[in-house]
Amino acid sequence: MSYLNETHDPSMQSWVVSANVPDNGFPIQNLPFGVFRPQGSPNFRPGIAIGNQVLDLAALAGVQPFTGQAAQALEACQGDSLNALMGLGQPHWSALRLALSRALRQGSAQQAVLEPLLVGADQVEMGLPARIGDYTDFYISAHHATAVGKQFRPDNPLLPNYKWIPIGYHGRASSIQATGHSFPRPVGQTRPASEGGTPGFGPCQRLDYELELGIFVGQGNAQGERIALDDADAHVFGLCILNDWSARDLQAWEYQPLGPFLAKNFASTISPWIVTLEALAPFRIPFERDANDPQPLPYLSSAQNQEYGAFDIDLQVFLSTQTSRAAQAEPALLSTSNFKEAYWNIAQLLAHHTVNGCNLQAGDLLGTGTLSGPDQGQEGSLLELNQGGKQAVKLPWGEERLFLQDYDEVILLAACHKDGYPTISLGQASGTVLPARV
């Protein structure tokens, strides 16, 4: 099957001049959805990014420029979130994308209608793109799981179930924030200094980031029904960047027997633009499993998934500190990796999440877990970079870091690159650590 259509034409140009600038990240082939408000406005509303502009979809809906499913989809873009649009389903998303693509192309007769509804991206505040009802965080990078596992179980870093099922846990949706936010360092219990001793209590000393992608569910499934592997794409609205901040010292004390809790639920950061699965179609690649590993069970395997199930998305982690910002130094690149290295893929996560009848809903968020690569320089967390707190990371301006300090800012970027095709950016997810409230 082909996932490509006329909206993916790499030669297509827009009458929005900034969208045609090489590597701007938001060309007409992207058209990601988000929620924004212009400076001075009290109300958030849906929009799309095009070059360095944001198109106000709520205002466009009042003009009623489209017909059919595109008109119905645009009508759903008048609240303060994208949930209504997400719930309509893939045919409506595709129809709206096509209508917007045609309206924004060079020579479009609708330029005069749309142009007054553009707002400069530097003149808006971005919000959470959806009301996130539920949040599940997975653990799908075998490279990350192995690197972390070696620190605790050198002879057996991966537990027996890892290569058979996508491992996940239920996260905290209420503490997810859009890029640019700040949060206080978490406080909690830590492991006793000696066996049988009293736990410590105070601000986290081993605060870390996690380089992840977020998967926004579109149309959900009824309770008791499964989402089949080859139907999963129709239930995914799109992807964002996700930083699932982690308090490693709190985590080390609490994670047995039930896993992450206070070490994870204090803050998570996402990028504000959702890049649709359709926009990412040119970057689909085969999903490959090492022949020496257990092969996925039938409900997690299909010919279609093997041929198109993975995505080639480049990921980067940057760090800035109080010292570097005072010296006007550029943020330091800590590591790079790629989503294609993940052990499980998007469709498999939805198929597994619902195989027991769990009902997903429009706006639910699934995290991939930390996306590390196989080589040095591809670590998705400080815990890997510093080898479990043993080797400090040296920064270009002379500082070192074992773990994050107060006022450190972590910036995650993601983008797709392909010869002969415009760069498709997922934007950025940035957050700053503030002192603990004690």
Residues catalogued as catalytic: 144
DSSP-assigned letters across all residues of 33-65: EEEEEETT-S--EEEEEETTEEEEHHHHHHH--
* Site of tokens 């736990």: 199
Measured distance CA(277)–CA(284) in Å, rounded:
10
Closest of 120, 100, 413, 87 to residue 273, by C-alpha = 413
User: Can you read off the two tokens belonging to residue 267?
Assistant: 């803050």
Measured distance CA(250)–CA(248) in Å, rounded:
6
Q: What Cα–Cα distance (Å) separates residue 171 from each residue in 136, 178, 284, 330?
A: 5, 16, 28, 33
Measured distance CA(301)–CA(351) in Å, rounded:
10
103 close to 49: Cβ distance less than 8 angstroms: no
Strand partners, 338: 314
Q: Is 88 left (phi over 0), alpha (psi -120 to 50) or beta?
A: alpha
